[in-house]
Amino acid sequence: MREIIFDTETTGLDPKGGDRLVEIGCIEMVNRVSTGNTFHGYFNPDRDMPAAAEAVHGLSVSFLSDKPRFHERVAELLEFLGDETKLVAHNAGFDFGFVNSELEMCGLPPLGRERMIDTVAMARMRHPGAKNSLDALCTRYGIDRSHRTRHGALLDAELLAQVYVELTGGRQIGLSLAAETEISLVQTMSAPKRDRPFRPARPHQASEAERAAHAAFLETVKSPLWTD
């Protein structure tokens, strides 16, 4: 089963308001294993880069000025995505919205929403009430993200690919530790018992003095419930 895990970086949050796609990173997986095949591209948005967006991904107008426009690489991108391959993204509606906006400007049909797999929705089902950002999920599953100082489409797609495997019950990072613990427990339970002197059971019956003291105490209780 072929799947594409992808992420995008943009000039803002709303493609309908004029924001543009400036980076896309795609990772190919077959049967939940990365094949090593990727697609990565930066795009000149032909507009300014808001400071808030640049602070997130670090992509400046100067850096993007000599990069191709989206339409110049769209055929290559669509060939990589394929026609029916499932497309996995974190908060996938956002990424689909931007890619489809760019495709519309190229006069091309949109990516079908039936291909979309949203890992945010998956994480909310598996971890209700917990933080489900990409950073939070990496921490939860023990995925190293120390090299992620800023958002980057290809880097985030690589991290998401590992998260996706965990969300679908795949790698189970703690499996070896659990196995070692289980082996240790079995060894402890099956270890030969040491010779110990026999000790008879301790008596637990109340003595005559204790029973007399208890009866005297009951006589002091006024209107006891057990006499109703």
Catalytic residue numbers read: 151
Q: What angle do CA 113, 115, 119 make, to 5 degrees?
A: 90
**Residues 70 and 43 sit within 8 Å (Cβ to Cβ):** yes
pLDDT tens per residue across all 228 residues of the chain:
999 999 999 999 999 999 999 999 999 999 999 999 999 999 999 999 999 999 999 999 999 999 999 999 999 999 999 999 999 999 999 999 999 999 999 999 999 999 999 999 999 999 999 999 999 999 999 998 877 666 789 999 999 999 999 999 865 544 444 444 333 333 333 344 456 666 666 666 777 888 888 888 878 888 777 666
How far is Cα of residue 41 from the mean position of the Cα atoms in its chain? 24
Tokens 């995925």 correspond to: 143
Are 35 and 90 in contact by the 8 Å Cβ rule? The answer is no
The residue extents of the domains of the chain are 2-173
What is the number of alpha carbons within 13 Å of residue 204 lying toward its C-beta? Answer: 2
Superfamily holding 2-173:
Ribonuclease H-like superfamily/Ribonuclease H (3.30.420.10)
In angstroms, the CA 52 to CA 60 distance is: 11
